[in-house]
Structure 1
Amino acid sequence: MIAVNLSAVSEFHLLGFSEVSHLHPLLFVVFFSLYILTLMSNIVIVLTINGDNTLHTPMYFFLTQLSCLDICYLSVIVPKILENLVVGTVSISKAGCALQMFFFLFFGVAECFLLAAMSLDRCVAICYPLHYTVTMNSRVCKSLVAGAYICGSAVGLVHTSITFSLPFCGLAISHFFCEIQPLLELLCGNTSPSEIQVIVVAVFAIVGPFLVIIYSYTCIISTIIKMSSAESQQKAFSTCSSHLLVVTLFYGTASSMYLRPKSSYAVSGDKLLSLSYTVVTPLLNPIIYSLRNEEVKRALRKRWRKINSVWK
């Protein structure tokens, strides 16, 4: 490949799913359906929580933030996937690629820390119920959310500014959006410093929050075991196991992508990994965290009855 000075280049080319071009119509239907379903479910959750005074508690405040993050996170990536499936190889400007990387990292890392904050909230609620209202007051909740957004913006700025300040030896990105690992493949010369930077930041942004979640749920499970009611234990274990399943999928696949050297990058396999934390997890979040929750379902039924009464 001939080295190309990025400052002289106006655009990159996203190859997307070019290796399975015969499946593009089917994939378009699948991704478009998932996108609309995820958007609708998250919007319904936000409107339901904001419109019901009984749900104005720390847990539902975090759930609202999670739904908003998922909407933004998905909207950064899926439109380009859909465009790629319709027209084939997609061109994206240098600035557009940098912005897409920044916002993907911003929303993704913010979600990592938000999920950790949500686990801490549940830990305090279950393990220290008498101190819950004092410990998880409005100021603390808003600070945790602000901290998640600050961490997301910091990681996004660091990765984006460093990556796009380096010279590239190619313009064809073997991926469906401007993610770090595929872009490292295009960098000229020794990329070891960039790879180390990615791994170090991933330890902070992915492993750190995940350890907080594991610690929180260890405390929660320890408290659940001490419960006298078998029914309460079963209900709590069901909730915890579903939460842990989603966070393990999200953190596990993200770790598999970012906590390894560029030499182990495999185009087809890593596209599937990326899909799991960019498309699948935002769809599962509202189902696991909200739509399986009795209070949310009760609020949804109340809202539905109100809408029906207006139309009758």
Structure 2
Amino acid sequence: MEQANHTGNPSFLLASFALAGSLRPLAFTRALLMYLLTLVGNVLVVALVRADAGLATPMYFFISVLSFLELGYVSTTAPTLLGTLLQGGHAVPAAACFAQLYVFLSLGMTECYLLSVMALDRYLVICWPLRYHAHLSPRLCWGLAGATWAAGFSVALVPAGLMALLPFCLREVAHYFCDVAPLMRLICVDTAWHARIIIKVVAIINTSNLVLILGLYGGVLRAVLKLPSAASRAKAFSTCTSQMIVVTLFFGSAFIVYVGREGSQPQEGDKLLALVYTFLTPFLNPIIYTLRNKEVKEAVRRVTQRSGLC
């Protein structure tokens, strides 16, 4: 490990995956292609929801907000991932590292809150169908979406602010982006107290939102089981399965990295798990929410017909 002058403003060196030199170009090409496909997929979801009146419902509004969030989320870490794959290591100024940490944590916590709001949307449409549009007016939808962003960017100030104030004696980060645990290992002083505060903040946000989501889907399950026909139950379940897949991927990998492995030494497995919620989930979201979705297919057909593409 290289030492850094913690009295100044050092740079940090981000580590790459343990790959042979001959494999780096292939890994870089695949990561770049996946990043570009993620951008295209999420941009198309946002554009389609805005362009077609048939998707002007709270569910698709929140899906478009999630896609917009994913554009920023994946773009926060993808450039440094590509840099480490291409160069075998990637130097970033300390200010840029802390900015990346803050934006990454902010968007991650925003997604936690947004997934809860999306679960509330499914709860209302299934359990209170006659009052659904009255409960979730367009104005309220915008308010809820704004509240998730405000909450995420406010809460992230605590862990990111604590990290920026601590002295660093080392500069080699055992990760492909500036994350909490790898930076903690570079600090000159005892970080036990700071680590507990940071882990508790992240754990409380994740746990409270996950409990809320599970509670809402528990109500959905009870309501669905009371439906008279198997066809109606299957249709109701199909509107919820997409989000449950996303919730499992996002919260499962995040809990393992931030809570389940507290105090563990850096491993390649940490980087691979991080890829799930920083890269794989944003890539899969447009596919999960739109694949085999008749409403989306009809919207695509209407938009393409209006634009003269078919």
Distance (whole Å) between structure 2 residues aligned to residue 271 and residue 35 of structure 1 = 17
Q: Deviations over 1:222-250 (max 9, x none)?
A: 11111122122223334433321221110
Aligned-partner residue type, residue 60 of structure 1 = Y
Q: 1:155 to 1:267 in 2, by over 3 A?
A: farther
**With structure 2 as the length reference, what TM-score do the two structures score?**
0.94
Distance (whole Å) between structure 2 residues aligned to residue 292 and residue 205 of structure 1 = 32
Aligned-partner residue type, residue 284 of structure 1 = L
Aligned-partner residue type, residue 39 of structure 1 = L
Give how far 1:3 is off.
Answer: 6.7
What residue is the counterpart of 1:44 in the other structure?
A: 44
Answer yes or no: is the 8 Å Cα contact 2:2–2:171 preserved in 1. no
Answer yes or no: is the 8 Å Cα contact 1:168–1:186 preserved in 2. yes
* SS class of match (2:92): strand
Residues 127-166 of structure 1 mapped to structure 2, 5 A cutoff: 127-166=127-166
Structure 1: segments with no counterpart, 5+ residues: none
Answer yes or no: is the 8 Å Cα contact 1:195–1:261 preserved in 2. no
Equivalent pairs: percent with the same residue?
A: 38
Give how far 1:202 is off.
Answer: 1.4
Q: Deviations over 1:90-145 (max 9, x none)?
A: 11011110111111111111111101100101100110111111211223222221
Aligned-partner residue type, residue 276 of structure 1 = V
What residue is the counterpart of 1:253 in the other structure?
A: 253
Q: Deviations over 1:47-85 (max 9, x none)?
A: 111011122221111111101000110111111111221
Residue 59, structure 1, aligned to residue 59, structure 2: yes
What residue is the counterpart of 1:80 in the other structure?
A: 80
Aligned-partner residue type, residue 180 of structure 1 = V
Aligned-partner residue type, residue 218 of structure 2 = T
Distance (whole Å) between structure 1 residues aligned to residue 279 and residue 187 of structure 2 = 27
What residue is the counterpart of 2:302 in the other structure?
A: 302
Answer yes or no: is the 8 Å Cα contact 1:170–1:187 preserved in 2. yes
Residue 284, structure 1, aligned to residue 305, structure 2: no
Taking only aligned residues, the RMSD between alpha carbons, in angstroms, comes to: 1.9
Aligned-partner residue type, residue 220 of structure 2 = I
* SS class of match (1:90): strand
Distance (whole Å) between structure 1 residues aligned to residue 27 and residue 155 of structure 2 = 31
Distance (whole Å) between structure 2 residues aligned to residue 199 and residue 20 of structure 1 = 34
**With structure 1 as the length reference, what TM-score do the two structures score?**
0.93
Which piece of structure 1 moves more, 25-34 or 179-188?
25-34
Residue 273, structure 1, aligned to residue 273, structure 2: yes
* SS class of match (1:275): helix
Give how far 1:10 is off.
Answer: 2.9
Residues 236-251 of structure 1 mapped to structure 2, 5 A cutoff: 236-251=236-251
* SS class of match (2:169): coil
Which piece of structure 1 moves more, 35-44 or 202-211?
202-211
Give how far 1:19 is off.
Answer: 4.9
Distance (whole Å) between structure 1 residues aligned to residue 231 and residue 59 of structure 2 = 22
Residue 119, structure 1, aligned to residue 88, structure 2: no
Give how far 1:21 is off.
Answer: 4.2
Q: Deviations over 1:155-194 (max 9, x none)?
A: 3222121101111121000100001111011112311112
Answer yes or no: is the 8 Å Cα contact 1:5–1:167 preserved in 2. no
What residue is the counterpart of 1:169 in the other structure?
A: 169
Q: 1:245 to 1:103 in 2, by over 3 A?
A: same
* SS class of match (1:132): helix
Aligned-partner residue type, residue 174 of structure 1 = A
Q: 1:14 to 1:285 in 2, by over 3 A?
A: same
Give how far 1:281 is off.
Answer: 0.6
Aligned-partner residue type, residue 255 of structure 1 = F
Q: 1:263 to 1:203 in 2, by over 3 A?
A: closer
Answer yes or no: is the 8 Å Cα contact 2:14–2:89 preserved in 1. yes
Answer yes or no: is the 8 Å Cα contact 1:3–1:188 preserved in 2. no
Distance (whole Å) between structure 1 residues aligned to residue 285 and residue 84 of structure 2 = 26
Aligned-partner residue type, residue 29 of structure 1 = T
Give how far 1:204 is off.
Answer: 2.5
Give how far 1:274 is off.
Answer: 0.5
